[in-house]
Chain A
């Protein structure tokens, strides 16, 4: 059996007719830049996250960069985040000329709130908790620290649309929430796209100016800025998929639940637990496995695609050397980097495929 890690072709095949109709609608309207389609998408996305405002941008990375810019974060400032995230979280900080300050994560791959406070200095301006894998970070203590120390919170919810913590959507806790609609995300554009959510109308307005070359109206520029608009065409395409998002999310959760049960008796493979406070949406289903690389090769030989998110923590990347951390700085994240493996969990995964994956994992460990 062949079980690919992702299958975008299979996801899109049944949507093709609807997607093409959406593309044609944009074309007939003749508006390829901003306009009613983007407005409508933003309204629906805000509703989805139960926040007052959503602003469509060119990518999740731009969402992080512009969120930091809106907060006035720049040279001399420090921003705290985790070392095991996708590089864009840290790049965004570095590109605003602030200093990324990394703290280690817990067993659930998310930032350890207990380590945040010791990392705060007089220059710290913000915390970026990452809802990695689609699991919400532990927002209650994080928000408490932020309030106590007067720090901004920018949620990196790139992997976590529809995830909840204490019944509240991610992206609604912090000052700003950053989402990605990259093709490999659960809610995916047919290209790069991103969104920022916020409860603050002033920040939403500022983001609309910053994404559009600083223009408040066609002829009035009120800030220097780049061009980071969510393509109108992509907004229309994503709206087709919005209708399916709840169902896709439940399918991923069901796949995760299946794996969790089916692998629960394997001491060599730790499956991610789910606390009652969390609703995880499983952008990735990451197990921590003994002999990970051998397992991965074995699975590949049996036709099972897997991935590693991510094999090298950011502080050990070439780009991260300038941050001045060495090997050993973040033992949990480093240890996980050698053990984590993402199993196929996408909404199109059939039960017999998941069963096959489990059977191959068991076979590898001689069970």
Chain B
């Protein structure tokens, strides 16, 4: 049995409704901004329970634009964690600021104890990453930010519908960034991102900035970029956004099955950390595993498409040389680079496929399968 990591073929097996929507758009030729995007932004804001959602080109752009429009730029320091996808840091640099790293905790999110010691007179912002779909400790991070007058932009690209005590990721900071990349929980057919914020002023600035600074057709208020969420993608988003909660529940259900099935493997495998009150949405189901590379090879050989997110922590990337960090600076992130392995956890997996992945992991550690048959 093959247990695929990607699911686009399954998600869009019934393609005709999407093609009909695209056909209607093609027929009217209204490809930039417009009603479909406004509808999507309205529904996205409602889903997140925040007043403003602004569609932009990508999740990376959502972070960079938020920082820039919140006044972060050259000479400023922005604190984040090296245990993230590279784009978080790329976005900070795009905004002109200097990334300052602090290590993550075992739950793949920034360790709040380490933030305050990293604050300098130049620190202007924190970008907590809700990595893998877990949520950084936002109550503590917001308290630190208030105390030091820092801006908080949540990187919620992987964490739509995640929450702490019912309050959604993306609704804590001054702004938050979401990604609709094809492999995200809520996805479209290409790159797309969303900024959410409670600030009407920031929302207005973002709408201006993403569209060349244009007011109307002819007046340029400020130099801006072209970073619109494609209307074509908004149409796909409108079709899918209603399924977000169902997708989230299925991911959580599969994650729980994995957790339970690996309970007797405690000496080999640490399942994802579950903090009390936190709703983890398992964009990535990442375990920390003994003999990771062998396990990965075993899974791959048996048709279970596992991945590593990511083998090289950001501070050890070639791009990071200019920041002056060294191996050993962030032991947790570095350890995760060695031991993390991501199992398929998307809502289009059958129960049998999940069982297959489970038994493959168990087999590798010489444990009996949980169920026979598949």
Which A residues have a C-beta under 8 Å from some C-beta of B? 7-9, 11-13, 15-16, 19-20, 23-24, 26-28, 30, 32-33, 58-62, 65, 75, 86-88, 90-91, 94-95, 97, 182-183, 189-192, 213-215, 219-229, 231-234, 308, 310-312, 314, 317-320
Residue from A95, A189, A214, A233 in contact with B86 in the complex, judged by beta carbons closer than 8 Å: A214
Residue from B28, B218, B225, B314 in contact with A312 in the complex, judged by beta carbons closer than 8 Å: B218
Residue from A28, A65, A227, A320 in contact with B9 in the complex, judged by beta carbons closer than 8 Å: A28
9 nearest interchain CB pairs?
A8-B29, A191-B230, A231-B190, A224-B93, A61-B226, A317-B220, A183-B31, A32-B182, A227-B58
Cross-chain contact A220 with B317 (CB below 8 angstroms): yes
Closest-CB distance, A190 to chain B (whole angstroms): 5
Task: Tell me, in angstroms, the Cα distance from A24 to B19 when the chains sit together.
Answer: 8
| A8 contact set on B, CB distance < 8 A | 28-31
Task: Tell me, in angstroms, the Cα distance from A23 to B311 when the chains sit together.
Answer: 34
| A213 contact set on B, CB distance < 8 A | 60, 86-87, 90
Task: Tell me, in angstroms, the Cα distance from A36 to B311 when the chains sit together.
Answer: 26
- Do A233 and B228 contact each other (CB < 8 Å), given the known contacts A192-B32, A225-B90? no
Cross-chain contact B223 with A95 (CB below 8 angstroms): yes
Residue of B nearest to A232 (CB): B190
Q: Using A28-B9, A58-B58, A190-B230 as known contacts, list a sample of 8 further A-B pairs with CB atoms less than 8 Å apart, ordered by residue number in A.
A: A20-B26, A61-B226, A95-B225, A191-B32, A225-B90, A226-B87, A227-B59, A318-B221
Cross-chain contact B226 with A27 (CB below 8 angstroms): no
Q: Does B265 contact A (CB under 8 A)?
A: no
Q: Mask for B254-296, Cβ within 8 A of A = 1, else 0?
A: 0000000000000000000000000000000000000000000
Task: Tell me, in angstroms, the Cα distance from A16 to B191 when the chains sit together.
Answer: 23
| A65 contact set on B, CB distance < 8 A | 225
Closest-CB distance, B90 to chain A (whole angstroms): 5
Task: Tell me, in angstroms, the Cα distance from A237 to B31 when the chains sit together.
Answer: 13
| B224 contact set on A, CB distance < 8 A | 91
| A215 contact set on B, CB distance < 8 A | 86
Cross-chain contact B214 with A87 (CB below 8 angstroms): yes
Closest-CB distance, B40 to chain A (whole angstroms): 14
Residue of B nearest to A6 (CB): B29
Cross-chain contact A226 with B90 (CB below 8 angstroms): yes
Task: Tell me, in angstroms, the Cα distance from A88 to B227 when the chains sit together.
Answer: 12
Q: Mask for B219-252, Cβ within 8 A of A = 1, else 0?
A: 1111111111011110000000000000000000
Q: Does B173 contact A (CB under 8 A)?
A: no
Cross-chain contact A192 with B230 (CB below 8 angstroms): yes
Cross-chain contact B26 with A318 (CB below 8 angstroms): no
Task: Tell me, in angstroms, the Cα distance from A20 to B91 when the chains sit together.
Answer: 34
Closest-CB distance, A5 to chain B (whole angstroms): 12
Closest-CB distance, A107 to chain B (whole angstroms): 23
| A95 contact set on B, CB distance < 8 A | 223, 225
Task: Tell me, in angstroms, the Cα distance from A128 to B316 when the chains sit together.
Answer: 37
Cross-chain contact A231 with B191 (CB below 8 angstroms): yes
Task: Tell me, in angstroms, the Cα distance from A220 to B64 when the chains sit together.
Answer: 21
Residue from B15, B57, B94, B311 in contact with A27 in the complex, judged by beta carbons closer than 8 Å: B15
Cross-chain contact A90 with B182 (CB below 8 angstroms): no
| A182 contact set on B, CB distance < 8 A | 32
Cross-chain contact B191 with A229 (CB below 8 angstroms): yes
Cross-chain contact A233 with B190 (CB below 8 angstroms): yes
| B57 contact set on A, CB distance < 8 A | 58-59, 192, 227-228
Residue from B12, B26, B222, B228 in contact with A190 in the complex, judged by beta carbons closer than 8 Å: B26
Q: List 20 A-B contacts (CB under 8 A).
A: A13-B27, A20-B23, A23-B19, A27-B189, A58-B226, A60-B226, A87-B213, A87-B214, A97-B96, A183-B31, A191-B32, A191-B232, A192-B57, A192-B226, A213-B87, A213-B90, A220-B317, A221-B86, A226-B61, A231-B189
Task: Tell me, in angstroms, the Cα distance from A28 to B222 when the chains sit together.
Answer: 42
Task: Tell me, in angstroms, the Cα distance from A13 to B29 when the chains sit together.
Answer: 9
Residue of A nearest to B63 (CB): A226
| B6 contact set on A, CB distance < 8 A | 30
Q: Does B108 contact A (CB under 8 A)?
A: no
| B318 contact set on A, CB distance < 8 A | 220-222
Q: Does B70 contact A (CB under 8 A)?
A: no
- Do A90 and B94 contact each other (CB < 8 Å), given the known contacts A190-B232, A231-B190, A310-B218? no
Cross-chain contact B32 with A183 (CB below 8 angstroms): yes
| B86 contact set on A, CB distance < 8 A | 213-215, 221
Cross-chain contact B26 with A227 (CB below 8 angstroms): no
Q: Does B200 contact A (CB under 8 A)?
A: no
Cross-chain contact A319 with B191 (CB below 8 angstroms): no
Cross-chain contact A224 with B225 (CB below 8 angstroms): no
Closest-CB distance, A1 to chain B (whole angstroms): 21
Residue of B nearest to A26 (CB): B189
Cross-chain contact B228 with A192 (CB below 8 angstroms): yes
| B230 contact set on A, CB distance < 8 A | 190-192, 231, 234
Task: Tell me, in angstroms, the Cα distance from A219 to B86 when the chains sit together.
Answer: 9
Q: Does B201 contact A (CB under 8 A)?
A: no
Task: Tell me, in angstroms, the Cα distance from A310 to B216 when the chains sit together.
Answer: 13
Cross-chain contact A27 with B8 (CB below 8 angstroms): yes
Cross-chain contact A226 with B27 (CB below 8 angstroms): no
Cross-chain contact A61 with B212 (CB below 8 angstroms): yes
Task: Tell me, in angstroms, the Cα distance from A226 to B182 when the chains sit together.
Answer: 17
Residue of B nearest to A193 (CB): B230
Cross-chain contact A32 with B226 (CB below 8 angstroms): no
Cross-chain contact A91 with B225 (CB below 8 angstroms): yes
Cross-chain contact B94 with A233 (CB below 8 angstroms): no
Within 8 A of A (CB), among B298-324: 308, 310-312, 314, 317-320
Q: Does B22 contact A (CB under 8 A)?
A: yes
| A183 contact set on B, CB distance < 8 A | 29, 31-32
Cross-chain contact A33 with B190 (CB below 8 angstroms): yes
Task: Tell me, in angstroms, the Cα distance from A58 to B64 when the chains sit together.
Answer: 16
| A28 contact set on B, CB distance < 8 A | 9
Cross-chain contact B218 with A311 (CB below 8 angstroms): yes
Within 8 A of A (CB), among B86-141: 86-87, 89-91, 93-94, 96
Cross-chain contact B27 with A9 (CB below 8 angstroms): yes
